[in-house]
Amino acid sequence: MGRRFDANRTPRGPGRKSRKQRGAETEIPHQLLATDENAAPRKSSRSRKRAVKRQIKTSTVQEPKKKIRAIGLSDGSASRLTPKPPAVEEEEEEEEEREEDDDDDEEEEEGEEDGGTRELAEALESSDEEEEEEDELLPIERAALKKKKKEMSEEGRMEVGAGDGEMEINAEETERFCLPSQREIEEEIARPPDPQALYRRVRATVSVLGDFSRLRERGRDRGEYLELLRGDLASYYTYSPFLIGCLMDLFPLAELIDFLEANEVQRPLTIRTNTLKTRRRDLAQALINRGVNLDPLGKWSKVGLVIYDSSVPIGATPEYLAGHYMLQGAASLLPVMALAPQENERVLDMSCAPGGKTSYCAQLMKNTGLIVANDVSVDRLRSVVGNLHRLGVTNTVVSNGDGRDFPKV
């Protein structure tokens, strides 16, 4: 509780604390600003303590020394109790001062060494800060950070390994490549194929054919190298020798290897949005809500989506059954984009199954004009009819016949 207010009470002046602090507002600033240019440098704490000890010794009156008799004590105790002469005391004080001065010098040297190790300390502090930041992260964020570091380290090791592999391949290519004999080829056919050996031989054969006049084996013609390359490519990529021969006639050898390697990559799953019933943005949001990981197909397509993974079957979602999209490869979109059908035009699709290009044409034509969808197989036409009904296409006529007979119709 506070003091009761008395209106008739007159103040008696400043209180006790105010009287103590009177004049501090003018004296303290003067003391802070006062500087003495000739003032002695600031002493260390040990120097001040030694000065105080000397002052006390000089100010105290020296009392007459009394001889202490050690009665009933051993010689060691008696020596400890007997006072020491002044000279011994002064020597001990000087030794203490020297030790303290040495300690001060060591502190100064340590300060200089600290300046040399400052960079190391800063590096350690930065690493500690990074560890503290990692501690502040959520568990899922720490796990993601560890995974990222692990992937980076694995990528570094893979790059080193790839560099070593390239060096080995280059070293092998620099050596003169010799064609295997007929007996060696028969032995290779008898035993299981070695993919790495086949790949190395394919690379060596392609390099020889690239500079045949300089790298060829003496007494060997170009046809022998091409025949060996055809067989190795058929064995390594599991193609028929006839198809490999056709591709060798179609592509240069360097481009042929790139083409075959590209065919080994798994094709991504793509879908085409049916703009007759929905928009790509709405379809993407609906599929994302169902646990589908997807991205737009590319800037060149306004209706394509790439599916990376899905927790539900893409061909059995409610959106698929409602006709909001069609499972269709990205390459099959290009012919329709090149044709670019316009509204109220007439289009003939002579091989329409399963109906992807036909429905895309109807989508671009906005269900106007006429589309004749023909296929020679009756069984395949069933899927065409089902897809056209599901996608809401109404401007298409489905026919079953030979496309060569259409000029007579």
Could you please report the per-residue DSSP string of 105-122? HHHHHHHHHHHHTHHHHH
| CA–CA dist 178, 204 (Å, integer) | 9
361 is in an annotated binding site: no
In single-letter form, the type of residue at position 188 comes to: E
Tokens of 204: 């060596």
| Residue 50: closest CA among 99, 83, 109, 108 | 99
355 is in an annotated binding site: yes
Question: What b/e readout covers 362-396, taking b as 16+ CB neighbours within 10 angstroms?
Answer: bbbbeeebebbbbbeeeeebeebeebbebbbbebb
Sheet with 325-327: strands ordered across:
292-298, 301-310, 269-273, 325-327
Question: Which residues are CB-neighbours of 283 under 8 A, at least 6 positions away?
Answer: 273, 305, 319, 324, 325
- The sign one gets for the Cα dihedral 29, 31, 32, 37 is positive
357 is in an annotated binding site: yes
14 is in an annotated binding site: no
Task: Say if CB 333 and CB 325 are below 8 A apart.
Answer: no
354 is in an annotated binding site: yes
298 is in an annotated binding site: no
| Residue 229: closest CA among 245, 216, 249, 252 | 245
CB atoms closer than 10 angstroms to residue 96: 13
Tokens of 212: 């045949």
| CA–CA dist 72, 193 (Å, integer) | 107
How many angstroms from the chain centroid is the CA of residue 28? 60
Tokens of 95: 């030794």
351 is in an annotated binding site: yes
Q: Which residues are annotated as a binding site for S-adenosyl-L-methionine?
A: 351-357, 375, 402
Binding-site residue positions: 351-357, 375, 402
